[in-house]
């Protein structure tokens, strides 16, 4: 990681965990006088149509797209209100992990920040974890932020 970092990216999804990650990202961005990119992905959610088949819709519902664009607008406004002059919001649509990885590959940050849900082992096996999948495939340093217990 370039130190001090000049370009930070934070991925958000509207959860309290992501909000906590955004708080860390804003603090680090201020501390290092860096630029911040805030990314959210309106997800394409696979539907299971049989025990071994899944179907992925071709479009994200308009309401979901608007919801995630609203999250970005709110997060950018919050970061600017906290004194960050260089904040960019990026709203994407698609498979969440793929979209985050694609964005980071095209616009490499010095550090990627994500909230970590802290799912139990059983839930991770069933649901998977976006932060875990991104962490294992991204080519830049990642900071996973846990909620205080």
The structure's pTM equals 0.85
Do the domain assignments include residue 2? no
Question: What's the pLDDT tens digit per position in 90-100?
Answer: 999 988 888 99
Do the domain assignments include residue 1? no
Q: CATH number of the domain that 84 lies in?
A: 3.40.50.620
Q: Please, is 29 exposed, middle or buried when counting C-beta atoms within 10 Å of its C-beta (0-12, 13-18, 19+)? A: buried
Do the domain assignments include residue 41? yes
Do the domain assignments include residue 52? yes
Residue 16 reports pLDDT greater than 70:
yes
Residue 36 reports pLDDT greater than 90:
yes
Give the total number of structural domains in the chain.
1
Locate 64 and state its tokens. Answer: 């979901």
Question: What's the pLDDT tens digit per position in 51-65?
Answer: 776 666 667 888 889
Do the domain assignments include residue 49? yes
Do the domain assignments include residue 90? yes
DSSP H helix total and E strand total for the chain: 5, 7
Domain hosting residue 115, numbered range: 7-146
Give 128's Cβ-side CA count (13 Å radius).
8
Do the domain assignments include residue 94? yes
- Contact of 135 with 144, CB cutoff 8 Å: yes
Do the domain assignments include residue 37? yes
Locate 119 and state its tokens. Answer: 């799912």
Question: What's the pLDDT tens digit per position in 101-134?
Answer: 999 999 999 999 998 764 444 444 444 578 788 8
């Amino acid at each position: 990681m370039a130190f001090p970092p000049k370009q930070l990216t934070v991925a958000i999804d509207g959860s309290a965990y992501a909000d906590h990650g955004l708080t860390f990202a804003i603090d680090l961005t201020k501390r290092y006088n860096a630029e911040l990119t805030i990314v959210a992905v309106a997800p394409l959610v696979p539907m299971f149509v049989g025990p071994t088949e899944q179907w992925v819709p071709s479009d994200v519902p308009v309401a979901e797209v608007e919801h995630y664009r609203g999250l970005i607008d709110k997060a950018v406004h919050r970061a600017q209100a906290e004194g960050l002059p260089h904040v960019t919001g990026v709203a994407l649509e698609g498979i969440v992990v793929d979209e985050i990885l694609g964005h980071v590959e095209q616009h490499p940050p010095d550090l990627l920040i994500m909230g970590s849900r802290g799912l139990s082992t059983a839930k991770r096996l069933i649901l998977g974890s976006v932060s875990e999948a991104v962490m294992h495939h991204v080519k830049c340093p990642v900071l996973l932020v846990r909620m205080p217990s």
